[in-house]
Amino acid sequence: MGKYHPHGDYAIYESMVRMAQPFSYRAMLVDGHGNFGSVDGDGAAAMRYTEAR
């Protein structure tokens, strides 16, 4: 991911996390599996602990 985006893979991962959280958008845009954070402000787990499709 980082090779194709000018800001590296962290910017892509943060966007993907927001799209996988059911409380961030009206509808989930990414089907995520793993720890993607909570409403209480807990952050998402590292990239190696999450999967998305």
* Active-site residue set: 49
Residue 45 CB partners (closer than 8 Å, separation 6+): 34, 35, 36
Tokens of 39: 């409403």
Task: Check if the beta carbon of residue 18 is closer than 8 Å to that of residue 11.
Answer: no
